Amino acid sequence: MNVIIVGCGNVGYALVERLSDEKHNVVVIDKDKKKVDLITDEQDVLGVVGDGINYQVLLKAGIKHTDLLIAVTESDEQNLLCCVMAKRSDKYCRTVARVRNPVYNTETSYLRRELGLALIINPELIAAAEIARKFQYPDSIQVDTFTRGRIELFHLELKEGNPLIGMSVGTIINHFKCHVLICAVQRGRKALIPEFKTMLTEGDELILSATPKDANTFFKRTEINKHPLKSAMIVGGGTIGFYLAYRLSETGVRTKIIESDAERCDFLNERIPKATVINGDGSDEKLLIREGIGGVGAFAALTGIDEENVLLSLFARRVSHANIMTKLRGLNYTDIMERKQLENTIFPGVMTADYIVKYARSMSGSREGNIENIFTLSKSKAKAMEYFIVKPGRATGVPISQLKLKEGIIICSITRNEKLIVPGGRDEMRVGDNVLILTMGEIYNDIEDIVEA
Amino acid sequence: MNLRIVRYITGWVIIFEGAFLLFPLITGLCYREYEICKVFALVILICVVCGMLLKGIRRRDLGELYIREGFACVSLSWIALGIFGALPFFISGEIPDYIDAVFEVISGLTTTGASILSDVECLSRASMFWRCFTHWIGGMGVFVFIMAILPMAGARNINLMKAESPGPSVSKFVPKMKDTAKLLYAIYIVITVVCIVSYLLSGMTVYEALTLSFGTVGTGGFGLYNDSMASFTPLQINLMTFFMIISGINYSVYFCIAVFNFKEIFSFEEVRYYLLIILASIVLIAKDILPMYGKINVAFRHSAFQVASIITTSGFSTADFDKWPELSKGIIVLLMIVGACAGSTGGGLKVSRVLILMKGVGREIQSIIHPQRVRKLYLDREPLSDETLRSTNAYAAIYAVILVASALLIAPDGLGLTSNLTAVLATLNNIGPGLKAVGPTQNFGIYSSFSKCVLIFDMLAGRLELFPILILLLPSCWRKY
């Protein structure tokens, strides 16, 4: 696959490294000649010095034969414009833009549709979601994200003492009244399509899909999550801090943000009324203790300075039993960090790169098919696959009950116009839908292949 | 320095040389020269065994290939190529002195074409083929070839390419090094095949067409006969002129043609100046030598052939230009220094370097009048970076130092300043013939063994563009940290 990456920052570099390793032909564009030279010395890629929104520069980078353009410069507007330029010069080129300004956050899907982008990625949002997930769910629940973060697939084992044991699927649905879809029950080596009367027994593995918010309610009501997160302290009210505080306080966690900039505090208070905003220096130990760091359930060090985050986390570790998350920007000295001093670290740049690479990977496989995402669920061979239906075929336009599905295939969910549909027998798949299916290990490259010929 | 990877790569290069030696072996079989075939078979065996031993049979962790390992790999491999490539001549007794044999092979590999043989016609066909084939191998470069076919993982292979490919900066055509290498060889092979076919059509024998094509496209210059090219027909000579000029052009131009990007072709400033220099020199020399040859077409043919041969640093000759008037000789010596385009198979200082130097000089002079004026230099419509400018200036300085030092080192042989200077120029720029004692009708056999070693060094330094070979002399290059 031919890939153009515009912008050689942290994310750009991580992307180049990963994509080049996966044998893609990568061209990088950056205004700074030094950055381009550095990257072409280290990686087997072609460098072009210039502005990514300049048509001549794009031509020089070979936009005419490019399958994927990823714009990750500092400026959101430049990224969007760059993608539009690319799309205009080659309509088969898929484009990915990094857009981090929260102003655009609500418009993402509109922007994406209208500007013809394949993916708009907000690194801070992804990082915040990842932190929230680590804070809120115990390790026994494995989470995979589908349909660009809108749907999460939960994979949990029913161990002894789990409140769901002995209930039937019907009871769970009626009793807890949550918008959660039980996609499959895996018992031994067999996967069952759950019906109303299916009884859950110890040792079963459940695969659920839901939006993050519904999932949280579900886990709380069912008391699967025995120690749900009740309080969290965030130092640094930057973009990640903002998203994280928003997400946590929305799901009912008492959240405290410590931010030194008064103006920013006003903004945070306005946007997240449920959270407690404290205007103060996060590196002030007394302040942290006064605000109750000793009893907090989760602590996130999200200031802009790596060193400060590391020290804050070490301090939090000493004075509390909180679940600690440290944000780091640079990849230097990771060896030292890994020496178990820090429990959880998060690199937003690397995470963004991984996210885009995951997309690119599913895209390069989708040359002939239309598979978007693929995950192997741990402990079982089951695989979850996501498809985006591009054109009508034998699987579309027919009610699911009339489809002759191959053995072991479960259609988990259909996402249409950003809405989650729990597919019943009468529902059908349409062009433009995102479909999530579960198999017992087989991989189907195209949604067509799940139907018997 | 990480010696493990240097050994590994050098080992592979020697094995590849064994593979290249199959071609003269086949030639020998075709011409029923069984005695020399035995020698070649033996040398192939030596190459494969030594290569295997050097690279190690077990797969081990090789470590990283940083720029200094890359440079060292390339220089050491080229030296190894010379040492092993000389074995057939030495073992068969065709060149009894080992240093002479190394000189001959290095001269072939670096596409110099300077010979120590006074009578080349007595060589066997197989040896002659090997002698010419080294031009073709060395023309595009051994590492480009290896990179195109060996699955060498790692992004840092560009460090090998940097050391081997000519020009002030390396440019890739496509993102992947391997694909770039494949494209370069594809272009190279296409030009070679077209050249061979044209020679055949012009009436050369298969053997002549093959061997001379290697010399032409690789811009080498080993002739088949003692009088170099003088015995060929005017048509054949004009064809050769054409193909030499073609081979001296930056290969990026051919890549642009191959992908139908015709607009880009005109942005190569270097190529424009290259063609301009050729044209001007041809006219000037033709006018100068007209009285010698009488007919205008003959004068132009000799002038064009000699200009093309010298500027592309091939070094074929149709006439003894040592006997030409002083102006013509002066132009020829200047052309020797200028050399061909960067990114071609030719040697010399390279037209682009000369351009950069001239532009830099122009800016310096202007800065006397407007000391505070800010002015960026452009090449091919792109701004020139300060590093390129700096390294080009350094290159020119080192070039001059090596030139003078080498001329001094070979001076004790007592051959006179013109001979010595042009001998060094001819080897450092990978041309072949110089003036006076090393003129087109003479050879390098007159020099002592020590002088030959100096000239071997010059040839390698010129082909690898000074830096890779020079860093081998630095003690800090060999230290661990």
Domains of chain A: 2-121 (3.40.50.720), 126-221 (3.30.70.1450), 231-352 (3.40.50.720), 366-450 (3.30.70.1450)
CA distance B17 to B134: 10
Subunit contact B175:A46, Cβ cutoff 8 A: yes
Residue B140 C-beta-side C-alpha neighbours within 13 Å = 24
**Closest by Cα among A231, A322, A229 to A274:** A231
The pTM for the full model equals: 0.79
Instruction: Kindly list the residues from chain B whose CB atom is less than 8 angstroms away from the CB atom of residue A41.
Output: 67, 156, 158
pLDDT given at position A153: 79
CA distance B395 to B465: 8
pLDDT given at position B26: 93
Both tokens of B277, joined, read: 């220099």
Residue A195 C-beta-side C-alpha neighbours within 13 Å = 3
For A23, nearest residue in chain B (alpha carbons): B176
Q: Going residue by residue through chain B, which has 481 residues, state the pLDDT in tens, using 9 for 90 and above.
A: 788 888 888 998 999 999 999 999 999 999 998 989 999 999 999 999 999 999 887 777 777 788 888 888 899 999 999 999 999 999 998 899 999 999 999 999 999 988 888 888 888 999 999 999 999 999 888 888 888 777 665 556 777 877 787 777 777 888 888 888 888 899 999 999 999 999 999 999 999 999 999 999 998 888 888 877 888 899 999 999 999 999 999 998 998 888 887 877 888 889 999 999 999 999 999 999 999 888 999 999 999 999 999 999 988 888 888 889 999 999 999 999 999 998 888 888 999 999 999 999 999 999 899 888 888 888 887 888 888 889 899 999 999 999 999 999 999 988 889 999 999 999 999 998 888 888 888 889 899 999 999 999 999 999 988 888 888 888 888 887 6
**Closest by Cα among A39, A11, A23, A14 to A3:** A23
User: Got the DSSP string for A196-242?
Assistant: TTPBP-TT-EEEEEE-HHHHHHHHHHTT-SSS---EEEEE--SHHHH
The beta-carbon neighbor of B157 closest among A27, A44, A45 is A44
Subunit contact B177:A25, Cβ cutoff 8 A: no
For B172, nearest residue in chain A (alpha carbons): A46
C-alpha distances (whole Å) from B404 to each of A29, B383, B409, B422, B456 are: 43, 33, 9, 11, 15
CA distance A241 to A40: 34
Interface contact A27, partner B, CB < 8 A: yes
Instruction: Kindly list the residues from chain A whose CB atom is less than 8 angstroms away from the CB atom of residue B174.
Output: 25, 46
pLDDT given at position B288: 92
Interface test with A, best of B158, B262, B381 (most A CBs within 10 A): B158
Subunit contact B175:A2, Cβ cutoff 8 A: yes
The beta-carbon neighbor of A44 closest among B67, B177, B385 is B177
- Cα A104 to chain centroid distance, Å, stands at 18
What secondary structure letter does DSSP report for A405? B
Quote the radius of gyration of chain A (alpha carbons, Å): 23
C-alpha distances (whole Å) from B306 to each of A135, B211, B242, B331 are: 79, 19, 12, 11
Q: Residues with Cβ < 8 Å from A312, sequence gap 6 or more?
A: A235, A282, A283, A301, A303, A326
Subunit contact B385:A33, Cβ cutoff 8 A: yes
Subunit contact B157:A46, Cβ cutoff 8 A: no
Instruction: Kindly list the residues from chain A whose CB atom is less than 8 angstroms away from the CB atom of residue B154.
Output: 44
For B164-191, letters b (16+ CB in 10 Å) and e give bbbbbbbbbbbbbbbbbbbbbbebbeeb
The beta-carbon neighbor of A42 closest among B155, B172, B176 is B155
Instruction: Kindly list the residues from chain B whose CB atom is less than 8 angstroms away from the CB atom of residue A33.
Output: 385
ipTM exceeding 0.85, yes/no:
no
Per residue in A36-72, pLDDT (tens digit) is 888 888 888 899 998 888 888 888 888 888 888 999 9
User: By a Cβ cutoff of 8 Å, what residues of chain B touch chain A?
Assistant: 67, 154-158, 172, 174-177, 179, 385
Amino acid at A22: E
Compute the nearest-CA separation of A64 from chain B (Å). Answer: 12
The beta-carbon neighbor of A44 closest among B67, B155, B385 is B155
Instruction: Kindly list the residues from chain B whose CB atom is less than 8 angstroms away from the CB atom of residue A44.
Output: 154-155, 157-158, 175-177
CA distance A251 to A233: 15
Instruction: Kindly list the residues from chain A whose CB atom is less than 8 angstroms away from the CB atom of residue B175.
Output: 2, 20, 25-27, 44-46
Compute the nearest-CA separation of A272 from chain B (Å). Answer: 46
Instruction: Kindly list the residues from chain B whose CB atom is less than 8 angstroms away from the CB atom of residue A45.
Output: 155, 175
Per residue in A146-191, pLDDT (tens digit) is 665 667 778 787 777 777 788 887 777 777 777 777 877 877 766 6
What secondary structure letter does DSSP report for A25? E
State the Cα torsion A132-A137-A139-A144 to the nearest 10°. Answer: -70
Interface contact A43, partner B, CB < 8 A: yes
User: Got the DSSP string for A101-120?
Assistant: -GGGGGGHHHHHHHHT-SEE
* B296-311 vs B234-247: helix crossing angle, rounded to 10: 30
Subunit contact A2:B176, Cβ cutoff 8 A: no
CA distance A302 to A389: 39
* pLDDT band with cut points at 50, 70 and 90 for residue A368: very low
CA distance B75 to B466: 10
Q: Which residue(s) pair with A185 in the sheet?
A: A192, A206
For B159, nearest residue in chain A (alpha carbons): A41
Q: Which residue(s) pair with A5 in the sheet?
A: A28, A70
